[in-house]
Amino acid sequence: MAESVELPSKLAILPFRNKVLLPGAIIFIRCTSSSSVKLVEQELWQKEEKGLIGILPVRDSSENVMVGSAMAQGGGTEPTERSPIILYASSDSHKLDEKNQEEFIHWHARGVAARALHMSRGVEKPSGRVTYMVFLEGLCRFSVQELNTRGTYYTAKIIPLQTTKAEIKLVEQDADFRALSLHFKSIAMELISVIEQKQKTFGRTKVLETVPLHKLADIFVASLEISFDEQLPMIDSVDLKVRLSKATELVERHLQSIRIAEKITQRVDGQLSKSQKEFLLQQQMKAINEELGDNDNDDEDDLATLENKMQNAGLPSNISKHAHRELRRLKKMQPQQPGYNSSRVYLELIADLPWKKASQELELDLKATKEMLDKDHYGLVMVKQRIIEYLAVRKLKPDARGPVLCFVGPPGVGKTSLASSIAAALGKKFLRISLGGVNDETDIRGHRRTYIGSMPGRLIDGLKRVAVSNPVVLLDEIDKTGSDVRGDPASALLEVLDPEQNKTFHDHYLNVPFDLSNVVFLAAANKAQPIPSPLLDRMEVIELPGYTAGEKLRIAIRHLIPRVLSQHGLSPDFLQIPEAVVKLVIERYTREAGVRNLERKLATLARAAAVKVAEQEQVVTLNHDIQQLPSPLIENTFSGGAEVGMEVLPMGIGNHGISSTFNMSSPLVADEEMLEKVLGPPIYVEEEASERVATPGVSVGLVWTPLGGEVQFVEAAAMVGKGELRLTGQLGDIIKESAQIALSWVRARAADLKLASTKEINLLHGRDIHIHFPRGATPKDGPSAGITLVTALVSLFSQRRVRADTAMTGEMTLRGLVLPVGGIKDKVWVCLTSLVFSHLP
């Protein structure tokens, strides 16, 4: 910033329309009019740094302003302070801008000399007009003595209005001035800090110490966004004290207006109550949703439907209160708010649960029920009898608290279908809840709603699905529940099954009691033994031990084949499966105690037959229909249009023709060849036991598996070694121990068994024993292989073959005691298979 400048007595004048340039201020201008371009070119561009011009404010002639007393017309007396010069432009009109012609220009009598800090010259295309961009810095005030024109622009004779250093020193000693300057500095400081806070930029207060006060006043006023009329008097304030007080007044006023604006904002903010803010936010959210294409109305409709549903759900009064409180909360929420969805899902559940809704119970007709059970299930005489007793007691005393029936047996023996028959007999809906793999109490009781992704337990969820409060519920695989750190599902089940407690069953998710006392509970398990004893106490176990091959054959012929055929849209007219073939399926393609796999295999045969039938249908249509038509007609038909296509069939043999052709074809009869084609090569081809035991060291055992009984061969071999025992075939610890016991027992009895001549002879001397259980991929365990192991070892050491027609099972103690065995019926079903088949007609 220039300290003091030597001003010439004459300056080219650039008029500033309604704008003021103050000393110390920097302004950017773009000159496009011919007069200003000429001025800049001649006075600044060509003179470079030495160039100075005068900036003189002019007021728009259209504005209605007071014209001062003194008028300078082309020269004359010096205008007094604040008085504009009015130039009657017509005097030199031929050279001036057209715009100024015939207009009075209200020149201000004082202006500010300026120099160019930076300039650039441009040429507009395609007109070729020259323009200038100039950064001007205001230097010092001057007053106009005489205004003239030079070519197309004005010039003026001027008197600089600079304050000398002496004058500055003098005024600085003035007490008033000092007080004024202190005041100015403080408000200037305040203004700076307000601006800095707004703009979050700091470090501008330095300017207050580095720039002299008289210049600061101009700079501050120049930086304020104030009107032309407010800034104009600053040019006229030549006296330092006047200038400072003027600047103080302007800065203070500006600061005041900033403070008022802030106060208003704060007051408005404060006046917006919480709900108003919420409203505003909701409106914004709505607008955003609309922009995104989400439709809020859907949610409103949904909530109305939900409320309606809740009202019709027959909620008990305390639960209704609870639910409506939750609904009120939900209505206040925005769909995007966390918790909205979970709250809604919760209320949906409450509205869907069958609080009062129940299916009407049928008057129990025991005779009809018995007939139905017989019709649906082959055999199971004792089981059916027990079911009838159970139902009879219910008929006489509907609220009888008898034990829960628990069907125990291998898969596919009809546990589920018996339970569903009971439901049908009672005229109730049937619900099966699988408890397999349930380790966690929350599976039964649900998760508390505080957890993310929480949901109700299986019972409440199931009841929601059946939508009645009195269904028959089968707790399937109740023996497969475990317990771990997450709680014991069995204790939750106890509450479910206890008539005293289940009136107010508490699900953590639902969090209000639900009455389960109208539900008829049944249970099913593969084994009774893993069921926790408190649970078992509440139940009456009904065993379904598995079917013999003969039973399976009867079940297949009477129940499974008719059902499978109808499920596939077939009848015996299309597919026939002779008994002998069913036998083959049972023997070669299934190995199970129940009939589930058998049903599946029969279904596979039915599917294959269905495909054949469908293919036959197509062949009929094409062969007879189209090919018999005379060829020109075909051409006409296909070129003719849409409805012609429909004519193709009737013109041939028609629908009647198809069905009769179809009926005429003989039914498909399943045979061994078809079995191999459809079901693949036989899965279970048992070598004859006699072949397997042809070498010494092999014995035949019977084992129980969850799928029923199986024949298990045990193979033993001896080889040169150090007397070690090796065991293979995926054996568990118990079976390994049985092998050790068996070997020890045989060694101890070596002489008695005539395996060695004297007691002193070590049977294992110089040899190792290897025992293998074939089907090495299936894990095996349990103590009942004991006797089979002993037999295999004795056979090995004595080199005598075992009988092929005898299988054995039983745990043996070290002293040679064979303990009682269980699951005999399951275990022997394999043997029965061959037996029964050999006696079947």
User: Which tokens hold the place of 671?
Assistant: 């045979």
Q: Mind spelling out the 3-state secondary structure of 57-110?
A: EEECCCCCCCCCCCCCCCCCCCCCCCCEEEEEHHHHCCCCCHHHCCCEEEEECE
Contact between 413 and ligand ADP per CB under 6 A = yes
Which of 191, 250, 549, 555 contacts ligand ADP by CB under 6 A?
555
Contacts of residues 825-829 at CB distance under 8 Å and 24 or more positions apart, as own/partner, are 825/545, 825/546, 826/410, 826/545, 826/546, 826/593, 826/704, 826/708, 826/709, 827/702, 827/703, 827/704, 827/709, 828/702, 828/709, 829/546, 829/547, 829/548, 829/549, 829/593, 829/708, 829/709
Distance separating alpha carbons of residues 780 and 828, to the nearest angstrom: 18
Distance separating alpha carbons of residues 794 and 714, to the nearest angstrom: 12
Element (H, E) at 692: helix 689-692
Contact between 377 and ligand ADP per CB under 6 A = yes
Give the nearer residue to ligand ADP in terms of CB position, either 410 or 729. 410
* CB of 454 vs ligand ADP, minimal distance in Å: 31
What is the Cα Rg of the chain in Å? Answer: 54
* CB of 559 vs ligand ADP, minimal distance in Å: 4
Distance separating alpha carbons of residues 489 and 481, to the nearest angstrom: 7
Region from 49-57, 191-199, 411-419, 448-456 binding ligand ADP, contact rule CB under 6 A: 411-419
Give the nearer residue to ligand ADP in terms of CB position, either 464 or 563. 563
Give the nearer residue to ligand ADP in terms of CB position, either 414 or 786. 414
* CB of 736 vs ligand ADP, minimal distance in Å: 32
Contact between 823 and ligand ADP per CB under 6 A = no
* CB of 838 vs ligand ADP, minimal distance in Å: 23
- 415 marked ligand binding residue: yes
- 413 marked ligand binding residue: yes
Distance separating alpha carbons of residues 623 and 653, to the nearest angstrom: 10
Region from 126-134, 374-382, 651-659, 727-735 binding ligand ADP, contact rule CB under 6 A: 374-382
Half-sphere exposure of 190 (CA within 13 A, CB side): 15
Give the nearer residue to ligand ADP in terms of CB position, either 431 or 698. 431
Residue 157, beta-bridge partner list: 10, 146
Q: Is 343 exposed, middle or buried (0-12, 13-18, 19+ CB in 10 A)?
A: middle
Contact between 595 and ligand ADP per CB under 6 A = yes
Which of 411, 457, 652, 708 contacts ligand ADP by CB under 6 A?
411
- 416 marked ligand binding residue: yes
* CB of 480 vs ligand ADP, minimal distance in Å: 13
User: Three-state SS for 558?
Assistant: helix
- 409 marked ligand binding residue: yes
Contact between 105 and ligand ADP per CB under 6 A = no
Instruction: Write out the DSSP string of 577-592.
Output: --HHHHHHIIIII---
Contact between 380 and ligand ADP per CB under 6 A = yes
Instruction: Write out the DSSP string of 508-536.
Output: TTT-SEE--TT-EEEEEES-STTS-HHHH
Contact between 599 and ligand ADP per CB under 6 A = yes
**Under a CB-based contact definition with an 8 Å cutoff, are residues 760 and 712 in contact?**
no
* CB of 414 vs ligand ADP, minimal distance in Å: 3
Which of 54, 138, 412, 810 contacts ligand ADP by CB under 6 A?
412
* Set 36, 245, 421, 784: catalytic member: 784
Give the nearer residue to ligand ADP in terms of CB position, either 413 or 463. 413
Residue 174 to residues 165, 171, 178, 212, 758, Cα–Cα distance (Å)? 15, 5, 6, 16, 141
Distance separating alpha carbons of residues 97 and 33, to the nearest angstrom: 8
* CB of 558 vs ligand ADP, minimal distance in Å: 7
Region from 182-190, 501-509, 592-600, 826-834 binding ligand ADP, contact rule CB under 6 A: 592-600
DSSP 593: S
Which of 220, 378, 713, 773 contacts ligand ADP by CB under 6 A?
378
Region from 82-90, 311-319, 378-386, 434-442 binding ligand ADP, contact rule CB under 6 A: 378-386
Give the nearer residue to ligand ADP in terms of CB position, either 460 or 524. 524
Contact between 545 and ligand ADP per CB under 6 A = no
Distance separating alpha carbons of residues 277 and 254, to the nearest angstrom: 31
Contact between 433 and ligand ADP per CB under 6 A = no
Contact between 394 and ligand ADP per CB under 6 A = no
Give the nearer residue to ligand ADP in terms of CB position, either 79 or 412. 412
* CB of 556 vs ligand ADP, minimal distance in Å: 9
* CB of 525 vs ligand ADP, minimal distance in Å: 10
Which of 110, 344, 538, 559 contacts ligand ADP by CB under 6 A?
559
Site for ligand ADP in 2-31 (CB under 6 A): none
Region from 110-118, 413-421, 453-461, 741-749 binding ligand ADP, contact rule CB under 6 A: 413-421
Give the nearer residue to ligand ADP in terms of CB position, either 248 or 416. 416
**Under a CB-based contact definition with an 8 Å cutoff, are residues 23 and 138 in contact?**
yes
Site for ligand ADP in 488-527 (CB under 6 A): 524
* Set 223, 827, 834, 838: catalytic member: 827
Which of 151, 379, 783, 816 contacts ligand ADP by CB under 6 A?
379
User: Any catalytic annotation for residue 827?
Assistant: yes
- 411 marked ligand binding residue: yes
Which of 141, 254, 508, 596 contacts ligand ADP by CB under 6 A?
596
The sign of the dihedral angle between the CA atoms of 454, 456, 462, 468 is: negative
Q: Is 619 exposed, middle or buried (0-12, 13-18, 19+ CB in 10 A)?
A: exposed
The sign of the dihedral angle between the CA atoms of 164, 167, 168, 169 is: positive
Which of 120, 205, 283, 417 contacts ligand ADP by CB under 6 A?
417
Torsion of CA 424, 425, 430, 435, to 10 degrees: -130
Give the nearer residue to ligand ADP in terms of CB position, either 116 or 413. 413
* CB of 428 vs ligand ADP, minimal distance in Å: 18
Cβ-proximal residue to ligand ADP, closest one:
414
User: Any catalytic annotation for residue 38?
Assistant: no
Which of 84, 414, 708, 729 contacts ligand ADP by CB under 6 A?
414
**Under 8 Å CB-to-CB from 185, ≥6 apart: which residues?**
208, 213
**Under a CB-based contact definition with an 8 Å cutoff, are residues 714 and 699 in contact?**
yes
* CB of 377 vs ligand ADP, minimal distance in Å: 4
User: Which tokens hold the place of 106?
Assistant: 């209200």
* CB of 674 vs ligand ADP, minimal distance in Å: 23
- In which residue are the tokens 């596979």 written? 604
Element (H, E) at 54: strand 53-59
Residue 466 to residues 365, 391, 429, 580, 634, Cα–Cα distance (Å)? 24, 22, 7, 43, 56
Element (H, E) at 388: helix 381-396
User: Which tokens hold the place of 229?
Assistant: 């009329």
Residues placed in the known binding site: 409-416
Residues placed in the known binding site for ATP: 409-416
Report the interface residues with ligand ADP, using CB under 6 A: 377-380, 411-417, 524, 555, 559, 594-596, 599
Residues serving a catalytic function are 784, 827
